[in-house]
Amino acid sequence: MPRSKRTTSSQILHTSDIAKVVGIHPNTVRLYEVWGFISPVPRSPSGYRLFSPIHLAQIQIARTALHGPWPGQNIRRSALALTRKTATGDFDAALKLAKQHLVIVKQERAEAETAARVLERWASGKTAKKKHRPLKIGEAAKLLHATIDAIRNWERNGLISVPRDEHSGYRLYGTAEINRLRVIQMLRQAGYSPMAILRMLLQLDQGKKKNLRLALDTPRPDEDAYTASDRWLSTLAEQEARARQMMAQLKKLVRTKQ
């Protein structure tokens, strides 16, 4: 591959230039270098950073990959890996990672969509309901391959209310409770937050079976602070759009280096 052209004075960008183009604080520009999200930046004799258009592109990719709430560990690790690979200047390798990143995001999104469809079928009564004798919490946990702590946590968070045996006082999980736990477990494994699931279940318990997918994905006005998993479907759609944007940015860098 031929050597890239040397940066000329007309290509030199200063910290304030980068900050203005990207829409971030100048201190954040400096932090991107400290964090290893861009290639080393040469200094002028007086110590000023001399950025190039390549640095600007690297910061834009890092911004696309990392700005906003983290959408799960798998996507986070992948985004960090491709950002740091971009900072090495090996844009061909970074593009390969970007393609892998898109696959990861699409897989997460497919799981979330599948869980939402199963939820809708369950709520409409279209799924088979296997009959269960009343189970104690340990038996329920074993049946679901869950932990007792997880089930207790779901109850503390208001996701399920479990009747007690009138004589022993033990919680007894019947068919309705086991099926509800299965749905809660599936949604949690697909990435939905307890708050999103609670929001949906409260609507369902009021007899409102329509727009459950929307309830899963739409924080209420009283939810002052929410995470990516509180609006998981929208978050994953946004992440897929970001992944495609990074691929386009990296393809442009690959062409620039040729």
Q: Tell me the CA distances in angstroms from 226 to 8, 54, 60, 239, 241, one per residue in order.
A: 46, 35, 25, 17, 21
Residue spans per domain, the chain: 1-67, 124-233
- Residue 143 contacts residue 135 (beta carbons within 8 Å): yes
What tens digit of pLDDT does each residue of 11-27 get?
A: 899 999 999 999 999 99
Write out residues in the chain with pLDDT < 70, as ranges: 1-10, 128-129, 225
pLDDT digits (tens, 9 = 90+) for 215-258: 999 998 888 767 899 999 999 999 999 999 999 999 999 998 77
Q: What is the token pair recorded at 14? A: 């200063």
Taking the C-alpha atoms of residue 116 and residue 232, their distance in angstroms, rounded to an integer, is 11
How is domain 124-233 classified at the architecture level of CATH? Answer: Orthogonal Bundle (1.10)
pLDDT of residue 65: 93
- Under CATH, to which class is 1-67 assigned? mainly alpha
What's the CA gap between 80 and 3, in Å, rounded?
A: 27
